Amino acid sequence: MHSETDWDALVSARALAAALGRDDLVVLDARSSLADQPGCEAAYRQAHVPGARFADLDRDLSDHRKRGGRHPWPEAADFTAALGRWGITPMHQVVIYDAGDGALAAARAWFLLRALGHRRVAVLDGGWARWIALGLPVEAAVPTPQPARYEAGFDADRLLDARQVQAHLQLGGLLLDARAAERFRGEIEPIDRVAGHVPGARNRPYADNLRDGRFKPAGELAVEFAAVLDGHAPQDLVVMCGSGVTACHHLLAMAHAGLHGAKLFTGSWSGWIQDPARPVARD
């Protein structure tokens, strides 16, 4: 394998197009929809980036046998088995895209790999929409990867449950919620049974990381997240959202900005409210 180019956060559509065919490159199509997930795989089978494998948010990037919110974090053995089916080893450069801005499953898949210690993994900036807008090549053929072996475990220090988040807040740590402001304030709740947010959390909608469907420049994001951190180290920040998926957009944006080590509340809001005794804030 060769590694003349390493991408560990974002990659442009033109750069990915130029790299297609590299023997160390695997592309994952992680298009997803809370309303019609089966339709996403059908769309993949009609057209995708050449060579891309399909990563399903519910089947491959979550474990619905477990409690822990609407998209429970999978076991390492299950996720590495999926990587093996896709032909991915720890040496591969992986690039992931979804239907638009990386906000849903692409950032989730990126952080799953990063939590395993996989360094060479990036999200396609602008996603499928950018690829199509530039008229870059697509194909309908579904690849048959050579099975691979991937052995690794998740970095447990970067994955927090509700009890650990409560302790983190009590120690003065920061909790950042990536949901839209009106959901955070509890004015609306289109998905979960309870509206509101974790007391002590702050809000930065994931869309604030974007401009015209692509990530803001690294320097600009570094300034914005420095304001969020307010003197804290990135390792003092835990991110959350509705179910632990769009929160990964903040982790990706921070990595793009050179800010590494923030953590994920895996169950996020849907996991927090599984226990009715936990407090809820609305403001």
Rg (CA), the chain: 18
| Phi, psi (rounded to 5 degrees) for 112 | -55, -45
CA angle 265, 270, 275 (to 5 degrees): 95
What is the distance in angstroms between the CA of the first residue and the CA of the last residue of the chain?
Answer: 53
- Joined together, the tokens standing for residue 48 give 């995708």
Cβ neighbour number for residue 220 with a 10 Å cutoff: 13
Cβ neighbour number for residue 123 with a 10 Å cutoff: 31
Cβ neighbour number for residue 143 with a 10 Å cutoff: 16
Burial of 189 (0-12, 13-18, 19+ CB in 10 A): middle
Q: Which residues contact 176 (CB under 8 A, 6 or more apart)?
A: 201, 202, 203, 204, 228, 237, 238, 239, 240, 250
Q: What angle do the packed helices 218-229 and 247-256 form, to 10 degrees?
A: 120
- 156 to each of 163, 176, 178, how far by Cα in Å? 14, 19, 21
Rounded distance, CA 131 to CA 71, Å? 27
Beta bridge partners of 48: 139
- Cite the active site residues: 241
